[in-house]
Chains A and B, each alone.
Chain A
Amino acid sequence: MGSTGPARRVRLVLAAVVVVATACGCGAPRERIDGASAVASSFAEAARSGDGTAMCALLARGTREELARSEGTTCDKAVVEQRLSTVGPVREVDVHGLRAMARFEGDTLFLSRFSTGWKVVAAGCVPRPGQPYRCRVKGG
C-alpha cells in the first residue's frame, strides 16, 4: 500500500529536518564519535602506563605548550607529574561539531578536532556546579 498524501508530506518534512540537522553538524556522525573515542582511549592507556611522550602526542599544541610553560619543564615530564586518574574504559563520549567530551571513571577529557585529527585540549577535569570544569591540564 502506498502512503497517503499527508502522511507522505509529513515524512518528507521529517526527512528534510534530518538532512538539515545532519548537514549542519547538529547530529554527530558515527565516524566523529568513534574518532574522538579512540583518541580518548589512547590517552587513557598512555596515562595508565605513564607514557608521557604518547600523552603529549595526543595533546593539542596549545595545551602542550601551556603545560610545559606553566610547569617549567618538558611536556612529557609535566604531564606524567599531573597523575591523571584517567582510568577504565570510556564511559560516554559526547560530540558536538568539532568538539567532544569523553567521560572516564573519575576524569573527563575535552577534545577538539584539528586537521591532524582529534586532540585532547583539557584533561584531569572535574565538574563544578554552574562553572566550567576545573582541569589540571588545559590550554592557555
Chain B
Amino acid sequence: MSDRPARRESRRGNRRGRRGPVLGFLHDNGLTLAFLTGFLVVLVAQAFAGRAEFNAQLVSEGLEPVSFGSYVTSSDFAVDVTENWQSEYLQFFLYVFGTVWLVQRGSPESKELHRVGTESDEDQRVGAHARADSPRWAAAPGLRGLVYSRSLGLVMGGIFLLTWLAQSVTGVAAYNEQQLRQLQDPIGWSRYLTSADFWSRTLQNWQSELLAVASMAILSVYLRQRGSPESKPVGAAHHATGVEG
C-alpha cells in the first residue's frame, strides 16, 4: 500500500521523460498555462474593445481620441479591469472559507455532511500528524502552522482587498475625469466610496459571482461532466456528497 504514491511518481517521471522536459512541463501545468494564456489574450481584446468604446464617447463630446498606449494606462481601463478582478478573488475567498462550514448534499463541491468545520489535526495531517511529504509549515507549531492552515483563504482574501482598493483608486480617477468632461466638480476618494458609481461597479460583479457559485453547487448534484474533477463520476448517485470524478 505505502509504495503506491512512489510508483505513481515513478510512472509520471517516465511519461515526462518520454515527452521531453518542455512538453512534460506543458502537460503537467496545462491547466494553469492555458488559463493564463487565455487571460492575457482576453485582456488585450478587452483593451481594444474598451478603447474603441472610450474613443467613440470622446469624439461624440468633441474631444480627441486616445492612443492604445494612453488607453491601457488610463484610469478608465484600470477600473474596468480591477472591478472584475476583485469580484473573482472575493468569490474564491468566500468559497474557500464558506465550504469549511457550509455543505451541499450531493455536490462534489461540498465535503461530506458530517465533516463540517475545520476538522481534526489527524484528518488535516497537521502538527504531530504531519507526514514526511507534508509541507514543512503543516508540522510547524504556533502561528506559522495556524497561518499556513488558512493560507489559501488569506491570500485570496488579501488579493481581493488589494484589488478592491485598486478599483476604488482607479475608479475615483475615472469618475473625476468624466465629471470634468461633463463640467462638474470632481470628488475625493472617501466620498467616492459612498457613491453610486463605486457600488454599482462593485455589486454588479458580486451578484454574478454569487450566482455562479450557487449554480455550480446545486447543478453539480444532478448533472455530470465525464472526466472532470469538478463533477462526480457520471454513474455516481445524486445523493453522494464530496465525491470527485
Contact A132 B183 (CB under 8 A): yes
Among the 9-residue stretches B3-11, B59-67, B105-113, B137-145, the one with 4 or more Cβ atoms under 8 Å from chain A is B59-67
Name A130's closest neighbour in chain B (CB-CB): B184
Contact B186 A101 (CB under 8 A): yes
* Across-interface contacts of B179 in A (CB, < 8 A): 96
Given that A94-B186, A101-B186 are contacting pairs, would A26 and B169 also be in contact in the complex, using a CB cutoff of 8 Å? Answer: yes
- Shortest CB distance B77–A (Å): 7
A20 CB contact (under 8 Å) in B70, B169, B172: B169
* Across-interface contacts of B174 in A (CB, < 8 A): 97
* Across-interface contacts of B162 in A (CB, < 8 A): 13, 17
The answer to whether the Cβ of B73 comes within 8 Å of any Cβ in the partner chain is yes
Name A111's closest neighbour in chain B (CB-CB): B180
Given that A26-B169, A97-B75 are contacting pairs, would A139 and B182 also be in contact in the complex, using a CB cutoff of 8 Å? Answer: no
Cα distance A101–B182 when bound, in Å? 11
The answer to whether the Cβ of B74 comes within 8 Å of any Cβ in the partner chain is yes
Name A100's closest neighbour in chain B (CB-CB): B180
Contact A24 B73 (CB under 8 A): yes
Given that A24-B170, A26-B172 are contacting pairs, would A122 and B183 also be in contact in the complex, using a CB cutoff of 8 Å? Answer: yes
Tell which of B70, B76, B173, B182 has the most Cβ of chain A within 10 Å.
Answer: B173
Contact B75 A125 (CB under 8 A): no
Which range contains the number of B residues in contact with the other chain? Answer: 20 to 34
The answer to whether the Cβ of A86 comes within 8 Å of any Cβ in the partner chain is no
The answer to whether the Cβ of B165 comes within 8 Å of any Cβ in the partner chain is yes
* Across-interface contacts of A61 in B (CB, < 8 A): 62
The answer to whether the Cβ of A21 comes within 8 Å of any Cβ in the partner chain is yes
The answer to whether the Cβ of A7 comes within 8 Å of any Cβ in the partner chain is no
Contact A24 B180 (CB under 8 A): no
Name B180's closest neighbour in chain A (CB-CB): A99
Contact A114 B64 (CB under 8 A): yes
B74 CB contact (under 8 Å) in A25, A114, A121, A140: A25
The answer to whether the Cβ of A127 comes within 8 Å of any Cβ in the partner chain is yes
Contact A138 B173 (CB under 8 A): no
Interface flags, A123-135, vs B, CB<8A=1, else 0: 0010100011101
Contact A97 B169 (CB under 8 A): no
The answer to whether the Cβ of A106 comes within 8 Å of any Cβ in the partner chain is no
- Shortest CB distance A109–B (Å): 10
The answer to whether the Cβ of A44 comes within 8 Å of any Cβ in the partner chain is no
The answer to whether the Cβ of B181 comes within 8 Å of any Cβ in the partner chain is yes
A residues lining the B interface (CB < 8 Å): 13, 17, 20-21, 23-27, 60-63, 94, 96-101, 110, 112, 114-115, 121-122, 125, 127, 131-133, 135, 138-140
Q: List 27 A-B contacts (CB under 8 A).
A: A13-B162, A17-B162, A20-B170, A24-B73, A24-B74, A24-B75, A24-B77, A25-B73, A25-B173, A25-B177, A26-B169, A26-B173, A27-B173, A60-B62, A96-B177, A97-B74, A97-B75, A97-B176, A99-B177, A99-B180, A101-B180, A101-B185, A115-B64, A122-B183, A131-B184, A133-B184, A140-B62
**With A21-B169, A96-B173 already in contact, 19 other A-B pairs whose C-beta atoms are closer than 8 Å:** A17-B162, A20-B166, A20-B170, A26-B75, A61-B62, A62-B62, A63-B62, A96-B75, A96-B176, A97-B176, A98-B70, A99-B180, A99-B181, A100-B180, A112-B181, A114-B63, A115-B64, A121-B62, A121-B63
